[in-house]
């Protein structure tokens, strides 16, 4: 019966119409492949620069020789205990923040709704510094406290915001972030000099203190989380159309909450490993979207996140001689103008057409 | 019940069946009850339109029937089973929905959006197929949006955008389609155009359509089955000729009117009286 209606249609035969759809579907996919390939090459380049260049330069053959176990006095230590772990941790943390942030922004349909803006990352920080200074914990216990803190902050923001729109959530989150920041500041005043150094790391975030046990733990966490994320975010194209449309297209009742919980965990393990490197979660998704011409891409966000962290760490290390900035200071300097640009161009509300 | 319109291409079943039924359903938001103890059988293969004054519960009823709201009492049945207990994806293969507040992410193209209507038919092992291409192409052609295929949705006019959203729901290829005020924000020409598309769809595929409309004139023109609501209850239901009477209009809209015959569609046409013209 359908055929009779479309037979007299001005858009030509069925085959011609299908050809139009195929063409329209092909262009974005080609762009996606190009962008992802470009970002991969860029990440490789930044990673190589971070590891090989700087005040101690390595040749590629030396790099592989050391990697395979050769002992070159001085060089082996610098590569294996400083440069390489910093770069690897940078990639892992960048992926965790990039994917976590992009999921938040897509699901909540607002670029401001990223975990580092709405208090999730600060939940991890506040919980960690309380654990260090007031409870006297250290090592793995602090990292566990950080993860719990992030989940706790996220749940609290959700409850405070209530069932309303994303706007409520962003406002509640910004309020929560402010409250948690004052907790960190309060703890800071109570800390002795040694602890104060640690607290500072939980405030800005840095991959400067990277060590292999932390990297192994984070890699393991990502190995568990990322496949779950890949499965759950098959619903992301629905969720970013809004809750009601998503339900109409078959999203389950708790699908958005599940996806967001995974994003909270990604952010939490990232913060637990390197502190809340400012604005990476906030920047990665929108930059990837911009490159893709307006399509949400988690793989793209992961790559952008990794490039930003590794690149920022390189800048932090070598921008000024003798001063080693925390990574978060550099990303913060990148993120602040971007936030202003978002506000100035009015893209912070619903992404209304 | 008889059908007033002559539509030779539609095979109207002699006795009306209903796959979607509201059974003594009570709906509300938190403490506030909007629809109380309401029963409604949606006739299959027909166009049903729900009308009523603002805040009469018509959108709430539609949202309940589309499983967006969980009933506080009673249940909504789809093919005899409580719709809230069925897996959402399974429902989405039978029942499509166009909510009132549909907003596309910035930069999303028309084809990309309409393709998302195929999601309930996708699976872990089932890749995008020729059938999906055809469903999207048909939906675009039916709504007259094929030539917009690679345009970003946010650059379209209001009328075009609304047709694209309808196309997304059509690409879902469901037997039932629920629309919440699909003509809001459209000018008269675009309203007629959109409602014509929906009638075409009903005629071509026998799709059961339920929509909430604001305008009584449009409702009585396009409905096979008209449901008038007031204060969360159904006041009258039947063909437009049965439902649109001065008495019902007074009860539902608190409006004095005369009812004449629409010279074009021969359906009832409400002419308000007001205070200035007697």
Q: What is the DSSP string of A165-185?
A: -HHHHHHHHHHHHHHHHHHHH
Identify from A15, A232, A245 which residue to disrupt to test chain B contact, counting B C-beta atoms within 10 A and taking the largest count. Answer: A245
The complex scores an ipTM of 0.87
Question: Which residue from A265, A330, A260, A286 is spatially nearest to A90, judged by alpha carbons?
Answer: A330
Q: Which residue has the tokens 């409905």?
A: B223
Q: Is the pLDDT of residue A350 over 60?
A: no
- Residue A81 confidence class, pLDDT cut points 50, 70, 90: confident
Other CB atoms closer than 10 Å to residue B85's CB: what's the count?
Answer: 8
Q: What is the pLDDT of residues A108-117, one digit of tens each?
A: 988 888 998 8
B110 touches chain A (CB under 8 A): yes
Are B255 and B272 a contacting pair, CB within 8 Å?
Answer: yes
Check CB contact of B189 with chain A, cutoff 8 Å: no
CA distance B184 to B163: 12
Interface check for A109 against chain B (CB to CB < 8 A): the answer is: yes
- A57 CB contacts (<8 Å, ≥6 apart)? none
The mean per-residue pLDDT over the stretch B58-87 comes to 93
Q: Could you say which residues from 297 to 316 on chain A have a Cβ atom under 8 Å away from some Cβ of chain B? A: none
Residue A5: which pLDDT band, with cuts at 50, 70 and 90? low
pTM: 0.88
pLDDT at A296: 87
Choose the weakest-confidence range: A40-49, A60-69, A215-224.
Answer: A60-69
Q: Mean pLDDT across the stretch B69-76?
A: 93
Report A:241-280 residues touching B (Cβ under 8 A). Answer: 241-242, 244-245, 247-253
Average per-residue pLDDT for chain B: 88
How high is the pLDDT of residue A74? 81
Tell me which residues of chain A, numbers 58 to 77, contact chain B at a CB-CB cutoff of 8 Å. none
Q: How far is A338 from chain B (nearest CA, A)?
A: 18
Is a pLDDT exceeding 80 seen at residue A142? yes
Test A23 with B150 for CB contact under 8 angstroms. yes
**Does the beta-carbon distance from A11 to B101 stay under 8 Å?**
no
CA distances from B196 to A66, A70, A131, B227, B256 (A): 73, 77, 65, 20, 29
Question: Closest by alpha carbon to B19, among B106, B73, B77?
Answer: B77
pLDDT over 90 at B39, yes or no: yes
Q: What gap in Å lies between CA B138 and CA B205, rounded to an integer? A: 12
pLDDT score at B13? 47
**Whether pLDDT at A244 is above 70:** yes
What's the order of all strands across the beta sheet hosting B73-78?
B32-42, B20-29, B73-78, B81-82
Fold of A37-352: ABC transporter involved in vitamin B12 uptake, BtuC (1.10.3470)
Determine, for residues B137 and A293 on separate chains, whether the beta-carbon distance falls below 8 Å.
no
- The answer to whether the beta carbons of residues B139 and B168 sit under 8 Å apart is yes
Place of tokens 């999906």: B132
Chain B touched by A24 (CB under 8 Å)? yes
B7 touches chain A (CB under 8 A): no
Query: How big is the A-B interface in CB pairs under 8 Å?
Result: 144
pLDDT of residue B101: 72
Q: What is the pLDDT of residue B63?
A: 94
| Distance of alpha carbon A193 from alpha carbon A174, whole angstroms | 30
Per-residue model confidence (pLDDT) at position A152: 95
pLDDT at A332 (0 to 100)? 87
Per cent of chain A over pLDDT 70 is: 94
On chain A, the residues whose CB falls within 8 A of the CB of B102 are 241-242, 244-245
Asked if A53 and A78 count as a contact pair (C-beta separation under 8 A), the reply is no
pLDDT at A352: 36
Residue B267 DSSP label = S
Interface test with A, best of B9, B10, B111 (most A CBs within 10 A): B111
In chain B, residues with a C-beta closer than 8 Å to the C-beta of A252 are: 87-89
Determine the pLDDT at residue A248. Answer: 94
- The pLDDT tens digits of the residues spanning A6-46 come to 655 666 788 888 999 999 988 888 999 999 999 999 999 99
- Indicate the range of A136-145, A188-197, A228-237, B164-173 predicted with least confidence: A188-197
**Average pLDDT of the residues of chain A:** 87
- Closest residue in B to A241 (Cα) is B104
Distance CA A126, CA A272 (A): 11
pLDDT tens, A272-301? 999 999 889 999 999 999 898 888 899 999
**pLDDT exceeds 90 at position A132:** no
Q: Residues A103, A107, A113, A114: what is their CA dihedral angle, to the nearest 10 degrees? A: 0
Question: Which carries the bigger pLDDT value, residue A74 or residue A8?
Answer: A74
Enumerate the domain spans of chain A: 37-352
More reliable by pLDDT, A136 or A246: A246
Give the pLDDT confidence score for residue A6 in this predicted structure.
Answer: 61
């Amino acid at each position: 019966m359908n055929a009779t209606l479309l037979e007299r249609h001005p858009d030509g035969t069925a085959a011609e119409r299908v050809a139009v759809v195929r063409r329209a579907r092909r262009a974005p996919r080609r762009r996606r492949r190009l962008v992802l390939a470009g970002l991969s090459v860029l990440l490789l380049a930044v990673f190589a620069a971070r590891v090989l260049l700087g005040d101690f330069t390595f040749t590629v053959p030396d790099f592989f020789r050391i990697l395979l176990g050769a002992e070159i006095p001085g060089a082996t230590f610098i590569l294996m205990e400083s440069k390489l772990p910093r770069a690897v941790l940078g990639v892992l943390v960048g992926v965790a923040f990039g994917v976590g942030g992009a999921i938040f922004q897509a699901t909540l349909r607002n670029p401001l709704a990223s975990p580092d803006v709405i208090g999730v990352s600060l939940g991890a920080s506040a919980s960690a510094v309380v654990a260090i200074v007031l409870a006297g914990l250290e090592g793995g216990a602090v990292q566990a406290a950080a993860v719990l803190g992030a989940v706790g902050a996220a749940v609290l923001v959700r409850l405070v915001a209530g069932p309303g729109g994303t706007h409520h959530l962003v406002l509640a989150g910004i309020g929560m972030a402010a409250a948690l920041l004052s907790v960190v500041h309060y703890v800071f005043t109570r800390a002795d000099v040694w602890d104060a150094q640690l607290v500072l790391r939980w405030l800005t975030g840095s991959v400067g203190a990277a060590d292999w046990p932390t990297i192994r733990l984070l890699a393991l966490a990502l190995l568990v989380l990322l496949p779950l994320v890949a499965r759950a975010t098959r619903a992301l194209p629905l969720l970013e159309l809004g809750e009601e449309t998503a339900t109409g297209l078959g999203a389950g009742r708790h699908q958005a909450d599940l996806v967001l919980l995974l994003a909270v965990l990604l952010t939490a393990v990232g913060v637990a490993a390197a502190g809340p490197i400012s604005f990476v979660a906030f920047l990665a998704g929108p930059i990837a979207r911009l490159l893709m011409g307006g399509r949400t891409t988690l793989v793209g966000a992961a790559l952008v996140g990794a490039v930003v962290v590794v690149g920022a760490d390189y800048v932090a290390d070598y921008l000024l001689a003798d001063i080693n900035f925390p990574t978060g200071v550099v990303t913060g300097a990148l993120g602040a103008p971007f936030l202003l640009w978002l506000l100035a161009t009015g893209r912070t509300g619903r992404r209304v057409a | 019940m008889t059908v007033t319109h002559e539509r030779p291409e539609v095979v109207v079943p002699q006795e009306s069946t209903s796959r979607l039924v509201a059974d003594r359903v009570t709906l509300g938001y938190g403490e506030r009850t909007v629809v109380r103890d309401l029963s409604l059988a949606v006739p299959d293969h027909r166009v049903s339109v729900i009308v009523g004054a603002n805040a009469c519960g018509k959108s709430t009823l539609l949202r309940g029937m589309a499983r967006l709201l969980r009933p506080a009492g009673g249940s909504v049945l789809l093919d005899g089973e409580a719709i809230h207990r069925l897996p959402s994806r399974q429902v989405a293969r039978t029942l499509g929905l166009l909510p009132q507040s549909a907003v596309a992410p910035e930069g999303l193209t028309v084809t990309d959006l309409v393709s998302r209507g195929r999601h309930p038919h996708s699976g872990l092992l089932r890749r995008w197929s020729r059938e999906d291409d055809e469903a999207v192409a048909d939906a675009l052609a039916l709504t007259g949006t094929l030539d917009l295929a690679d345009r970003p949705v946010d650059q379209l006019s209001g009328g075009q955008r609304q047709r694209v959203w309808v196309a997304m729901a059509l690409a879902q290829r469901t037997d039932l389609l629920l629309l919440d005020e699909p003509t809001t924000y459209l000018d008269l020409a675009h309203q007629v155009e959109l409602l014509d598309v929906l009638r075409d769809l009903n005629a071509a595929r026998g799709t059961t359509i339920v929509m909430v409309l604001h305008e009584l004139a449009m409702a009585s023109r396009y409905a096979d089955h008209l449901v008038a609501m007031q204060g969360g209850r159904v006041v009258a239901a039947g063909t437009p000729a049965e439902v649109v009477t001065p008495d019902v209009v007074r009860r539902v809209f608190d409006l004095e009117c005369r009812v004449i015959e629409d010279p074009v569609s021969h359906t009832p046409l409400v002419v308000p009286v007001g205070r200035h013209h007697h």
